[in-house]
């Protein structure tokens, strides 16, 4: 049995633990439905909408994993920045007439399904068989401790990631400007 926190008996539905579990099931369904829309929708705008739904579900899952800060960052960065940028790119670069977003050929749909199924089942079987041991926690993982880690143990990575972001922004501007006529 892999690590799980101690709730011994099954909670009733209308207790605090039961309602928490119900909300978790709903959020898991939201994540999966959003992902399904994102990867199967015919039109790109619907794909982005599904991606937003999926990311909101993932943010809720982060709440259940004791990380409210990362959950808020997920909504702020992914939903607020990445998805909106993708929506702008769709408006700029994807004319909605002559658009078919479905499978590229008669066989590509089933073959892609088989490939993704093999990958998924392989990962699930691997997770089922593996044994993970839980180690005692050395701190609580609060926002304050994240900040201390960022500026002590991971300060080099922190600086590097800001340089990467700066170069990415400049590079994006240069690439998008090249070849513009006016």
Partner 1 sequence: MSFLTLYNNLNTFLYLAAILFGMGVYGIVTHRTLIGMLISSELILAAASINFMAFNRFTAPDPTVGQVFTLFIMAIAAAEAAIGLSIIIAVYRNYKSVDTEDLVELNG
Could you tell me the smallest distance in angstroms from the CB atom of residue 144 to partner 1? 10
Whole-number Å distance between alpha carbons of 14 and 17 = 8
Could you tell me the smallest distance in angstroms from the CB atom of residue 168 to partner 1? 4
Give 73: exposed, middle or buried? Use CB within 10 Å, 0-12, 13-18, 19+. Answer: middle
Which residue in 30, 97, 106, 108 binds partner 1 (CB under 8 A)?
Answer: 108
Mask 151-170, x = binds partner 1 (CB under 8 A)?
---x--x---x--xx--xx-
Q: What is the DSSP letter of 13?
A: T
Which residue in 97, 106, 107, 136 binds partner 1 (CB under 8 A)?
Answer: 136
Which residue in 97, 106, 175, 182 binds partner 1 (CB under 8 A)?
Answer: 175
Which residue in 26, 96, 104, 159 binds partner 1 (CB under 8 A)?
Answer: 104
Quote the longest CA-to-CA distance of the chain: 69
Whole-number Å distance between alpha carbons of 151 and 153 = 7
Angle at 172 between CA 75 and CA 53, to 5 degrees: 25
Could you tell me the smallest distance in angstroms from the CB atom of residue 109 to partner 1? 6
Whole-number Å distance between alpha carbons of 108 and 114 = 10
For 19-65, the three-class secondary structure string (H helix, E strand, C coil) is HHHHHHHHHHHHHHHHHHHHHHCCCHHHHHHHHHHHHHHHHHHHHHC
Binders of partner 1 among residues 65 to 94 (CB under 8 A) are: 65-67, 69-70, 73-74, 77-78, 81-82, 85-86, 88-90, 92-94
Which residue in 106, 107, 128, 156 binds partner 1 (CB under 8 A)?
Answer: 128
Structure tokens at 171: 């590079």
Could you tell me the smallest distance in angstroms from the CB atom of residue 59 to partner 1? 10
Binders of partner 1 among residues 16 to 55 (CB under 8 A) are: 17-18, 20-22, 24-25, 28, 31-32, 35-36, 38-40, 44, 47-48, 51, 54-55
């Amino acid at each position: 049995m892999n690590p799980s926190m101690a709730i011994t008996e099954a909670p009733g539905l209308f207790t605090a633990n039961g309602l928490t579990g119900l909300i978790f099931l709903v959020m898991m369904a939201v994540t999966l439905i959003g992902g399904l829309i994102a990867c199967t929708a015919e039109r790109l705008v619907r794909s982005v909408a599904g991606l937003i739904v999926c990311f909101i579900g993932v943010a809720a899952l982060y709440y259940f994993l004791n990380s409210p800060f990362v959950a808020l960052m997920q909504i702020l960065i992914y939903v607020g920045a990445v998805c909106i940028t993708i929506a702008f790119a769709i408006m700029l670069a994807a004319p909605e007439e002559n658009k078919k977003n479905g499978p590229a050929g008669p066989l590509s749909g089933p073959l892609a399904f088989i490939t993704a199924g093999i990958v998924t089942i392989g990962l699930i079987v691997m997770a089922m068989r593996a044994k993970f041991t839980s180690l005692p926690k050395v701190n609580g993982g609060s926002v304050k401790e994240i900040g201390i880690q960022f500026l002590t143990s991971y300060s080099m990575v922190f600086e590097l990631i800001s340089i990467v972001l700066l170069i990415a922004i400049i590079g994006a501007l240069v690439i998008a400007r090249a070849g513009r006529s006016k």
